Structure 1
Amino acid sequence: MERNYDSVFAPAIPTDIHGVKILRQPSDAKLVELGVASWPIWESIPCKFPWTFKKTETMYFLEGKVKVTIDKQHKEEEAALELMAGDLVVIPKGMTVVVDVTEAVKKHYYRDLEIVKSESPSKA
């Protein structure tokens, strides 16, 4: 089931940079509404690696800093974003980036579920 990302951020207006939506310091009420505390946690020490998002991913940073450089294929030139503790971020499916964890990071994350439609056997 895919989320409605307009409602994820409502009524706040997120920053939108090349399709990446960032809301700095969302309210505790918004985090509870989204169920952030129940999402899995990902942690990393400082490192750098390429990544392609196979699903739209929503994340909430608890600790640390990450520099995300969006690949040129998504626009005319590369763009770098700095994400840090307190940021609620949505990165769209298919985006290719380079992740540079500059300070050990801990984040909650949620990936859209892929629903596979199957055909029911026909009754003869």
Structure 2
Amino acid sequence: MEPNCDSVFAPAIPTDIHGVKILRKPSDAKLVELGVASWPVWESIPRKFPWKFKKTETMYFLEGKLKVTIDEQQKEEKEVAFELTAGDLVVIPKGMTVVVDVTEAVKKHYYRDSEIVKSESPSKA
């Protein structure tokens, strides 16, 4: 199943921080519905790095903690930062640039939206 924001969070109402949607402690049923266990796993030791999301990414945090600071050019206020921890289901939109500060070793499942390219099929005469 290819998740989208509507299916990821329905019927719950996520926290929205400049387009980033966060649902704390989703139900096991929701995680099964999304197929989270089949998504790839990413792990990191504590470190800090810049990141640009080339595709919309949905993540479910299994372990750890990190702080995300949204790039200043994408927001009007001074600094927008939020923390993600084990049990968070998050969707970060394509094109967002952030600084990730892993404060406790992280392990997460992630899913990046596929870019669908429609190809033209040859017409039959």
User: Where on the TM-score scale, by shorter chain, does this alignment land: which range?
Assistant: over 0.9
> Percent identical across equivalent pairs?
90
RMSD (CA atoms): 1.5
Give 1:2 deviation, angstroms: 6.2
Which residue number in structure 2 is paired with residue 43 of structure 1? 43
Structure 2 residue aligned with 1:90:
91
Aligned to 1:21: 21
CA distance in 2, matches of 1:34, 1:88: 11
In the aligned structure 2, how far is the partner of 1:19 from the partner of 1:104? 25
Aligned partner of 1:102 in structure 2 is: 103
- After the TM superposition, which parts of structure 1 deviate over 4 Å for at least 4 consecutive aligned residues? none
Alpha-carbon deviation of 1:120? 2.9
Q: Which amino acid aligns with 1:119?
A: E
CA distance in structure 1 between the partners assigned to 2:33 and 2:3 by the alignment = 13
Provide the C-alpha distance between the structure 1 equivalents of 2:63 and 2:122, rounded to a whole number of angstroms: 50
Name the count of aligned residue pairs.
124
Query: Residue in 2 aligned with 1:61?
Result: 61
Gaps of 5+ in 1: none
Deviation, structure 1 residue 117: 2.0
What is the identity, as a one-letter code, of the residue corresponding to 1:73?
Q
Aligned-partner Cα distance in 2 for 1:57–1:75: 19
Farther-moved stretch of structure 1 (58-67 vs 6-15): 6-15
Q: Partner of 1:80: helix, strand, or coil?
A: strand
Q: Distance in 2 between matches of 1:34 and 1:74?
A: 29
TM-score with structure 1 setting the length: 0.93
2-side partners of 1:87 and 1:4: how far apart?
16
Q: Distance in 2 between matches of 1:2 and 1:40?
A: 14
